[in-house]
Amino acid sequence: MGVGDLVRQFGPDFPFAPCSRILHKADLVFGNLEMVFYNPKTPLIKERCSQSLMEAPHTFLPLDRGSGEPGLFQDDAMSHLPLLDFKVPLAYGQGLARAGFRLLSAANNHIMDFGFAVCQDTLDFLKEQGIMTAGCGRNLAEARKPAILTVRGKQIGLLAYADDSGQFARPGQAGVAPIKKKYLLEDIKALRPQVDILVVSLHADLEFVAYPAPWRVRLSRRLIEAGADVVLQHHPHVPQGIERYREGLIAYSLGSFVFPIWGNSYAQQRPYTDQSLILNLHLDRHRILGYEIWPVRINTYHQPLLMEGEDRQEFLRYLRAISLPLGCPDLLDRLWAKSCRQAASAYCSWLKGIYWQEGWPGVFRQIALLAKSTEKRRWVLGLVSGLGRFGF
């Protein structure tokens, strides 16, 4: 049973109920929306058919379809490419605003799964709910446009970008804002005079690894140097380290929050996929005063529950341990090289399955898709070099 099934049964407030007390204490709640809310009248375009197998093997698993029917659907013209169905009806999203969310990143690898018309339905719906978004738009300029809102007299600005997407925005094409250093630095420079607190959201890097790639550490620090106050990141689906850098704060992966871990063997079998955190920032007019970490564990109903007692302390010890290599570039390089080797091993095992299903043509087709993926090219380069010192 997926999140959509539970919302249909118990209502749109159900996913956030265990954490509602903590969320409602905040003046502003931010998150990453890695799905769409759809209007049945809007045609669905299966944009990610050409990319979906790049996320194997989980594309073959019976995940929630959003409509409540377990399983996967396929494009008739490309039936060999299964597609994750991350969509639910518009009404299912009403719990987001009631939970306190006012700012969401739409820059990720699932927001364009069904074409920009469905994505636009989602963005319009969120706006009606009083939730601002950044990171996706009708063209590159719109995707790079910041979201700015006023909270207790402070101007908070959000910029959002993704490293891997079914469709990146271009001057004449709708999509997600890509992680390009030039764009990020230009956008921070333009936004900095307009806001008191500047937040950058990045959706990037390998899934299920405990440490960020060295290129992402260097980029994140460069963003702080350029004027960002906070860099919040996601996509690995597990928590990663947190560091204070100069006057800023960088969280390299917030993990998952409301997500179907249980019953999804792709995620369930990985360590720490069911553990995450709420990062509570304390701000004054122009800087971060401090922060608190509220560890959460995702239960079998896909809800985040606040950890208590020894569970909480054990998680905090783990988070401190995985944050230590951030200050040791040589160690971080070695850890990244190990992650690249593990990614390559898993990819080769998966290609073996493709070979038995489709033969060499299928293998060559997937290798060609890998070459087009920024995220995948980086771990290939890390594998070849044996180190992480490349890019940015």
The answer to the question of residue 392 being in a domain is: no
When pLDDT is averaged across residues 239-254 and rounded to a whole number, the result is 97
In this structure, the strands spanning 132-134 and 136-137 are unpaired
The answer to the question of residue 61 being in a domain is: yes
The domain tally of the chain equals: 1
The answer to the question of residue 141 being in a domain is: yes
Q: Residue 84's pLDDT is what?
A: 60
When pLDDT is averaged across residues 46-65 and rounded to a whole number, the result is 36
- How far is Cα 246 from Cα 310, in angstroms, rounded to an integer? 32
Helix ranges, the chain (H)? 3-10, 20-25, 94-99, 116-128, 140-143, 181-191, 214-226, 265-268, 309-323, 329-358, 360-372, 374-385
- CA trace torsion 187, 200, 302, 118 (10° rounding): -10
**Average pLDDT of the chain?**
86
Q: Residue 56's pLDDT is what?
A: 35
Q: pLDDT band at 64, cuts 50/70/90?
A: very low
Query: Per-residue b/e over 210-246, b at no fewer than 16 CB within 10 Å?
Result: bbbbbbbbbbbbbbbebbbbbbbbbbbbbbbbbbebe
Q: pLDDT band at 381, cuts 50/70/90?
A: confident
Predicted confidence (pLDDT) at residue 281 exceeds the cutoff of 60: yes
The answer to the question of residue 379 being in a domain is: no
Predicted confidence (pLDDT) at residue 8 exceeds the cutoff of 90: no
When pLDDT is averaged across residues 106-115 and rounded to a whole number, the result is 92
More confident call, 183 vs 166: 183
Question: How many Cα atoms within 13 Å fall on the side-chain side of residue 166?
Answer: 24
When pLDDT is averaged across residues 339-367 and rounded to a whole number, the result is 90
Q: Residue 60's pLDDT is what?
A: 27
Q: Residue 72's pLDDT is what?
A: 29
The answer to the question of residue 365 being in a domain is: no
Predicted confidence (pLDDT) at residue 387 exceeds the cutoff of 70: no
When pLDDT is averaged across residues 28-53 and rounded to a whole number, the result is 75
Predicted confidence (pLDDT) at residue 74 exceeds the cutoff of 80: no
The answer to the question of residue 225 being in a domain is: yes
Q: What is the CATH classification number for the domain harbouring 322?
A: 3.60.21
Q: Which of 230, 149, 227, 218 is nearest to 190 (CA)?
A: 227
Q: How many residues does the chain have?
A: 392
The answer to the question of residue 89 being in a domain is: yes
Q: How far is CA 389 from the centre of its chain?
A: 24
In which domain, by residue range, is 142 found?
3-329
Q: Which of 255, 211, 260, 261 is nearest to 234 (CA)?
A: 255
Predicted confidence (pLDDT) at residue 77 exceeds the cutoff of 80: no
Q: For CA atoms 200, 203, 204, 208, give the dihedral sign.
A: positive
